[in-house]
């Protein structure tokens, strides 16, 4: 089938994309490579379509499909989307991705190569031809280019050559792509999805969540759109979840199970009702967590896979919780976050917890008993405040204490309670002992950026303190705002305020922080302290273990956010900030990577990569053991993306970067 015919069929609704397909993930280099191969008339692979009745299955996007038999693309989405986007100058109706990947493709008449538009290099150069503009005008556009080239004496001598090359670019639309077809009579949706996974074995297979959603969308085409709307609403409130996570919440509410295959036989009407119930209980959970625990944004929400369990309980309870029941549920959520309950074997852990909640009466006690059997000690010890940077497991605990306790700002003396200052952008992390003074004194990065050296202040207060040492500014704070230091768990011993005694300061503050969180947990348990007293010594041997890695400053976090923005501009997926590597069984945190792509920048097609800003060797070793390719400098990472992912020439990459 000719490419031009395929594109026409997409416009008419005779070719569409099945609902179970993932979005568009190609990079600019893959688009450029496709057009280069087609220009040289090299093979670009076979298309696989499923011919089925439009009324039998669902398709992606808002466009209308033709009546009768429709061909759904099983293999070839990325190629056909790229061809359509360049030829039509817009994405197809079923598009879900970043159109920057195919916007601005140019062709050089002399060098016979494709590249993406760069103003400084291509502006006013008649040898660079806009491929989209050419294909939209068709052969009528050749005359305009011929006229332009003819005005240049240095180019006119090669007019015939250039005209031939322009025609060859246009001829891409006449290339025949071999198409294999599966018929509806021969194949069910299950079989078709299995075939899809097999033919895409070199790329990204559908996850169990993708398959479950495909089956849901077959009966309820609006399902994906409705779920995306809810995800967008949470994102606007600074909670960032994905479809798999929301589907997991729907699954637990409807089936009481974690595994997605339990959704397969549930009717569309029940799925719709289940989504409403899940959204309602997720909202309830987030409100409880933000209001009672002060964890009011994504960066400190360190137990997100506990929320499907909370949703199940709240849905089945279907009544307002009294203060004791509410706080016991939140105590469990806090425990799940502190010990990494869902860091590994997520489905297994969720299923165990759901089972513990049956029947609901007494279920919270069974849930806590299961946590104790799995982890051991439920009280916090000073040694638990290990790690450094915003990825440290106990960083959210420090934020929680700041929001729900009596912590006061050191500039204004006002409390930093939840709801008073709005979102986290109004609070900044402050290094109690300035980094420069500690480095000058010979302390190492994990010591300098220890969680126990952090506190939260308003931006103005942070700026006023700058890089002064505690020995200097603590006394001023105490004089202006008596008790403000103690409210942020600062040891009273003034000898500990000296840089030479910094490590002793950390140990003293860890004890104060541990006492504070244990007191708060007693409050959550309404003095039912049996949960904090039993099994205390189970993991004492691990308390002093070091957890390496993590973003250690607001400046580094901003830099990494800029890298993520740059990646998105290239049409590639954003990475995970402060990505945690944990032990699969115990949930023990092993390391935190500053910015990571655990499935590769092109998911399933490239190796896992991470940016580690001046991290210690232990982080590099842990990341390497998990298959990550690590970069310690942003520019080196950008060169990797340009040269190996996008395969741009070094000079071109530098111009774009």
**Per-residue pLDDT tens over the stretch 454-498:** 999 988 888 888 889 999 999 999 999 999 999 999 999 999 999
- Residues with Cβ within 8 Å of 621's Cβ and at least 6 positions away in sequence, in order, are none
Number of neighbours of residue 160 by Cβ within 10 angstroms: 9
Closest CA to 546 of 506, 613, 591, 503: 591
Higher local confidence (pLDDT), 332 or 607: 332
Comparing CA positions, the residue from 99, 76, 83, 68 lying closest to residue 31 is 83
Asked if 15 contacts 86 with a C-beta cutoff of 8 angstroms, the reply is no
Residue 343 DSSP label: S
Please list, in sequence order, all residues whose beta carbon lies within 8 angstroms of the beta carbon of residue 40, skipping any fewer than 6 positions away. Answer: none
State the pLDDT at residue 328: 96
Rounded to an integer, the average pLDDT of 358-369 is 90
pLDDT over 50 at 361, yes or no: yes
Residue 654 has pLDDT above 50, yes or no: no
**How high is the pLDDT of residue 526?**
93
For residues 105 and 255, what is the distance between their CA atoms, to the nearest angstrom?
A: 48
pTM of the model as a whole: 0.69
How does DSSP classify residue 43? Answer: -
Q: Are 452 and 506 in contact (CB under 8 A)?
A: yes
pLDDT band at 421 (very low <50, low <70, confident <90, very high): very low
Residue 631, SS3 per DSSP: strand
The stretch 267-296 carries a mean pLDDT of 94
The whole-number average pLDDT for the span 388-400 is: 83
Query: In whole angstroms, what is the distance from residue 199 CA to residue 181 CA?
Result: 13
Range ranked top by mean pLDDT from 190-204, 368-382, 621-635? 368-382
CA–CA–CA angle 219, 221, 226 (5° rounding): 120
**pLDDT, position 202:** 46
516 vs 74, residue with greater confidence: 516
CA distance 224 to 204: 19
* 332 pLDDT tier (thresholds 50, 70, 90): very high
Give residue-wise pLDDT tens across range 259-277: 887 777 788 889 999 999 9
Determine the average pLDDT of the residues in 525-537: 73
Q: How confident is the model at residue 648 (pLDDT cuts 50, 70, 90)?
A: very low
| 389 confidence band (pLDDT: 50, 70, 90) | low
Task: Determine the pLDDT at residue 652.
Answer: 35
**Contact assessment for residue 444 and residue 422, using Cβ atoms and an 8 Å cutoff:** no
Q: Could you read off the pLDDT of 550-583 as tens digits, one per residue?
A: 666 667 778 888 888 888 777 677 788 778 777 6
Which pair of tokens denotes residue 464?
A: 């006023």
Judge whether 197 and 249 are in contact, CB under 8 Å: no
Please give the pLDDT value at position 184: 58
> What pLDDT does residue 483 have?
94
CA distance 148 to 161: 15
What tokens does 252 get?
Answer: 């637990």
- What pLDDT band is residue 399 in, cutting at 50, 70 and 90? very high
For residue 656, is pLDDT > 50?
A: no
What average pLDDT does the segment 190-200 reach?
59
Our separate counts of H helices and E strands in the chain read 29, 14
Bridge partners (DSSP) of residue 463 are none
Contact status, residue 507 vs residue 343, Cβ threshold 8 Å:
no
DSSP 369-421: HHHHHHH---S--GGG---BSTTSTTHHHHHHHHHHS--B-TTT--B--TTTS
pLDDT band at 540 (very low <50, low <70, confident <90, very high): very low
Asked if residue 2 has pLDDT above 80, the reply is yes
- For residues 367 and 357, the answer to whether their CB atoms sit within 8 Å is yes
Q: Which of 67-76, 80-89, 263-272, 348-357 has the lowest mean pLDDT?
A: 67-76
Q: Which of 14-23, 329-338, 648-657 has the lowest mean pLDDT?
A: 648-657
* Residue bearing tokens 């011919």: 51
SS3 72: strand
Taking only the tens place, the pLDDT of each residue in 427-454 is 788 899 998 999 999 998 878 888 999 9
185 contact partners, CB below 8 Å, separation of at least 6: none
What's residue 576's pLDDT? 81
Least confident of 112-121, 132-141, 303-312: 132-141
Task: Give the number of other Cβ atoms within 10 Å of residue 562's Cβ.
Answer: 11
Tell me the pLDDT tens digit for each residue of 29-73: 889 999 999 999 998 888 888 787 655 455 555 555 556 677 877
Mean pLDDT of 409-433: 74
Phi, psi of 190 (to 5 degrees): -60, -45
- 3-state SS, residue 240: coil
Question: How large is the average pLDDT for residues 166-195?
Answer: 77
Mean pLDDT of 396-409: 91
Q: Tell me if the bond preceding 385 is cis, omega within 30° of 0.
A: no
* Summary mean pLDDT of the chain: 82
Half-sphere exposure at residue 613, Cβ-oriented, CA atoms within 13 angstroms? 19
User: What pLDDT shows up at residue 68?
Assistant: 65
| Chain segment 620-638, per-residue pLDDT in tens | 877 877 778 888 888 888 8
Q: What are phi and psi of 150, to 5 degrees?
A: -65, -25
């Amino acid at each position: 089938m000719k490419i031009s015919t395929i594109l026409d069929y997409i416009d008419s609704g005779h070719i569409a994309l099945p609902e179970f397909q993932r979005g568009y993930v190609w990079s600019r280099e893959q688009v450029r490579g496709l057009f280069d191969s087609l220009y040289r008339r090299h093979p670009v692979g076979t298309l696989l379509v499923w011919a089925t009745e439009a009324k039998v299955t669902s398709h992606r996007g808002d466009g209308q499909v033709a009546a009768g038999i429709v061909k759904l693309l099983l293999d070839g989405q990325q190629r056909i989307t790229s061809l359509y986007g360049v030829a039509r100058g817009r994405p197809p109706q079923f598009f879900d991705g970043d159109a920057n990947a195919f916007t601005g493709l140019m062709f050089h008449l002399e060098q016979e190569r494709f590249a993406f538009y760069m103003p400084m290099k291509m502006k006013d150069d008649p040898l660079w031809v806009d491929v989209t503009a050419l294909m939209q005008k068709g052969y009528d556009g050749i005359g305009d280019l011929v006229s332009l080239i003819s005005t240049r004496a240095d180019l006119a001598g090669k007019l015939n050559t250039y005209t031939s090359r322009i025609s060859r670019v246009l001829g891409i639309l006449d290339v025949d792509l071999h198409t294999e077809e599966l018929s509806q009579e021969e194949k069910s949706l299950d079989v078709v999805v299995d075939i899809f996974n097999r033919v895409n074995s070199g790329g990204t297979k559908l996850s169990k969540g993708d398959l479950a959603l495909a089956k849901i969308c077959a009966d309820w085409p609006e399902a994906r759109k409705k779920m995306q709307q809810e995800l967008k609403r949470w994102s606007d409130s600074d909670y960032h979840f994905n479809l798999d996570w929301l589907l997991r919440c729907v699954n637990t509410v409807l089936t009481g199970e974690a595994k997605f295959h339990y959704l397969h036989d549930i009717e569309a009407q029940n799925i719709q009702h289940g989504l409403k119930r899940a959204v309602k209980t997720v909202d309830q959970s987030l409100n409880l967590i933000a209001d009672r625990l002060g964890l009011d944004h994504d960066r400190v929400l360190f137990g997100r896979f506990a929320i499907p369990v909370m949703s199940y309980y709240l849905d089945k309870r279907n009544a307002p919780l009294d203060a004791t029941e509410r706080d016991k549920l939140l105590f469990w959520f806090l425990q799940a976050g502190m010990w990494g309950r869902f860091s590994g074997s997520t489905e297994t852990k969720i299923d165990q917890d759901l089972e513990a909640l049956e029947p609901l009466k007494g279920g919270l006690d069974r849930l806590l008993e299961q946590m104790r059997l799995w982890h051991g000690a439920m009280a916090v010890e000073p040694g638990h405040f290990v790690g450094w940077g915003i990825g440290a497991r106990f960083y959210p605990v420090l934020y929680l204490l700041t929001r729900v306790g009596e912590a006061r700002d050191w500039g204004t003396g006002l409390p930093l309670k939840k709801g008073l200052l709005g979102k986290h952008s109004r609070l900044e992390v402050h290094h109690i002992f300035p980094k420069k003074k500690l480095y000058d004194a010979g302390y190492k990065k994990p010591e300098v950026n220890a969680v126990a050296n952090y506190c939260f202040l308003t931006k103005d207060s942070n700026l006023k303190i700058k890089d002064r040492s505690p020995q200097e500014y603590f006394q001023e704070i105490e004089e202006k705002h008596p008790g403000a230091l103690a409210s942020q768990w600062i040891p009273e011993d003034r000898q500990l305020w000296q840089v030479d005694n910094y490590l002793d300061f950390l140990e003293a503050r860890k004890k104060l922080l541990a006492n504070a969180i244990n007191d708060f947990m007693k409050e959550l348990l309404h003095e039912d302290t049996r949960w904090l007293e039993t099994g205390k010594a189970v993991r004492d041997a691990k308390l002093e273990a070091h957890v390496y890695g993590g973003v250690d400053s607001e400046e580094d976090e901003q830099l990494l956010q800029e890298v993520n923005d740059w990646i998105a501009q290239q049409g590639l997926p954003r990475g995970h900030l402060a990505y945690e590597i944990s032990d699969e069984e115990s949930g023990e945190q092993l390391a935190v990577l500053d910015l990571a792509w655990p499935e590769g920048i092109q998911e399933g097609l490239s190796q896992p990569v991470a940016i580690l800003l001046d991290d210690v060797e232990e982080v590099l070793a842990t990341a390497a053991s998990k298959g990550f390719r690590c970069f310690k400098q942003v520019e080196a990472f950008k060169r990797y993306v340009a040269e190996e992912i996008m395969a741009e020439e070094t000079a071109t990459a530098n111009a774009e970067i």
